[in-house]
């Protein structure tokens, strides 16, 4: 299957009926892009930044983050790079940042933790604003559950931007979007009409809809993106985005799964983000779907 798929790597992703699908890549370490030919993808749909935060030497300073983000932006050229602000907590503990909790998946993780520590969040925001001049940057927030979290994060961006402006440091305010991974957002997306874009995190969305932890093999069968309840939420978000001119992509692992790709396209998605190793397989699977 891998051999047959390789023929699709360099071409555009088209369905059997010729409908174009954007296929971007998911990365964690900035050096992940070095082995990828940028011509084979439509940009970076998800750069996780937890990697930068997980080091024994402590939390990364502004310069370290700025360099990491600029590296990926320069690799991508004009193609979009969507960087996610740190999603610490849950299955991604960061020593010295996350706290011990009885139920980490329902606790202080993602944007909740960042907003609880604005002094740490502001460092990342400044690095992102400065890196923005190096390419086509978009920024998204993980684990958004209510519109107020998005609004507070936007205020922090505006404040840090004003400070950079005041000292004359080059910077650019990126479009600010959100992950759709908490069911409250997928059920009532109209509460988030102001966001620049949506990116569906099917890993977390599935675990929260199915009440089946993503890291527990004993309930793996329940953790199913193709469950009709999960697919209904995905198609609802895709329809809301299409009707309101808000781009909806999907960056969960399901986007690179050939067995799930037909259901995602049938749900209305035309924008997937997959790990680089799945690029060819995803394009080959898309070519089999009649949408
Ligand atoms: C997701 O939840 O689907 C996602 C892409 O984010 P992460 O796996 O990093 O939580
Ligand atoms: Mg997630």
Tell me, what's the pLDDT at 236?
98
Q: Using 50, 70 and 90 to split pLDDT, how confident is the model at 3?
A: confident
Known binding residue 226? Answer is: no
Query: Tens of pLDDT along 69-121?
Result: 999 999 999 999 999 999 999 988 898 899 999 999 999 999 999 999 999 99
What distance in angstroms lies between residue 166's CA and the mean position of ligand 2's atoms?
35
Atom of ligand 1 nearest to the CA of 181: 2
Q: Using 50, 70 and 90 to split pLDDT, how confident is the model at 14?
A: very high
Known binding residue 48? Answer is: yes
Tell me, what's the pLDDT at 4?
83
What distance in angstroms lies between residue 201's CA and the mean position of ligand 2's atoms?
5
Percent of the chain, pLDDT > 70? 100
Closest Cα to atom 6 of ligand 1: 201
Tell me, what's the pLDDT at 156?
98
Contact 40, 283 (CB under 8 A): no
**Catalytic-labelled residue, pool 251, 264, 280, 285:** 251
Tell me, what's the pLDDT at 169?
97
| Cα torsion angle, 131, 279, 48, 142, sign | positive
Query: Tens of pLDDT along 171-180?
Result: 999 999 999 9
Q: Is 110 in the pocket of ligand 1 (CB under 6 A)?
A: no
Tell me, what's the pLDDT at 55?
81
Known binding residue 204? Answer is: yes
Q: What is the ipTM of this complex?
A: 0.99
What distance in angstroms lies between residue 27's CA and the mean position of ligand 1's atoms?
11
Query: Tens of pLDDT along 114-158?
Result: 999 999 999 999 999 999 999 999 999 999 999 999 999 999 999
Tell me, what's the pLDDT at 146?
98
Average pLDDT over residues 194-209: 98
pLDDT at 2 over 80: no
What is the Cα–Cα distance from 112 to 145, expressed in whole angstroms?
9
> Kind of pairing, strands 176-180 and 136-141?
parallel
Beta strands in the chain (DSSP E): 22-27, 44-47, 80-84, 136-141, 176-180, 197-200, 247-250, 271-274
Query: Tens of pLDDT along 28-69?
Result: 999 999 999 999 999 999 999 999 998 877 899 999 999 999
What distance in angstroms lies between residue 203's CA and the mean position of ligand 1's atoms?
5
Tell me, what's the pLDDT at 77?
98
41 is catalytic: no
Global pTM value? 0.97
Closest Cα to atom 10 of ligand 1: 204
Q: Is 32 in the pocket of ligand 1 (CB under 6 A)?
A: no
pLDDT at 217 over 80: yes
Q: How many helices (H) and strands (E) does the chain have?
A: 11, 8
Query: Tens of pLDDT along 232-282?
Result: 999 999 999 999 999 999 999 999 999 999 999 999 999 999 999 999 999
Tell me, what's the pLDDT at 21?
98
What is the Cα–Cα distance from 246 to 70, expressed in whole angstroms?
26
DSSP helix/strand/coil, 92: strand
């Amino acid at each position: 299957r891998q051999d047959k798929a390789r023929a699709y790597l360099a071409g555009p992703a088209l369905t059997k009926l010729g409908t174009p699908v954007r296929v971007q890549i998911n990365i964690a370490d900035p050096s992940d892009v070095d082995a990828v030919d940028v011509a084979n993808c439509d940009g970076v749909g998800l750069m996780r930044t937890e990697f930068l935060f997980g080091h024994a030497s402590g939390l990364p300073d502004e310069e370290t983050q700025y360099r990491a983000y600029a590296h990926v932006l320069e690799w991508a050229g004009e193609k979009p790079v969507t960087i996610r602000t740190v999603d610490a907590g849950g299955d991604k503990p960061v020593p010295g940042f996350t706290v011990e909790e009885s139920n980490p998946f329902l606790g202080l993780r993602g944007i909740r933790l960042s907003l609880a520590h604005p002094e740490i969040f502001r460092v990342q925001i400044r690095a992102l604003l400065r890196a923005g001049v190096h390419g086509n940057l978009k920024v998204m927030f993980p684990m958004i559950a209510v519109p107020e979290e998005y609004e507070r994060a936007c205020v922090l961006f505006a404040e840090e931007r004003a400070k950079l402006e005041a000292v004359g440091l080059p910077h650019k305010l990126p479009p600010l979007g959100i992950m759709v991974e908490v069911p409250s957002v997928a059920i009532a997306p109209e509460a988030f009409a102001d966001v620049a874009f949506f990116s569906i995190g099917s890993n977390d969305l599935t675990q929260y809809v199915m009440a089946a932890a993503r890291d527990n093999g004993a309930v793996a069968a329940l953790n199913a993106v193709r469950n009709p309840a999960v697919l209904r939420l995905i198609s609802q978000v895709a329809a809301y985005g299409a009707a309101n001119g808000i781009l909806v992509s999907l960056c969960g692992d399901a986007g690179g799964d050939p067995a799930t790709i037909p259901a995602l396209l049938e749900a209305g998605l035309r924008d997937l983000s997959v790990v680089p190793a799945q690029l060819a397989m995803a394009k080959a699977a898309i070519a089999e779907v009649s949408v």
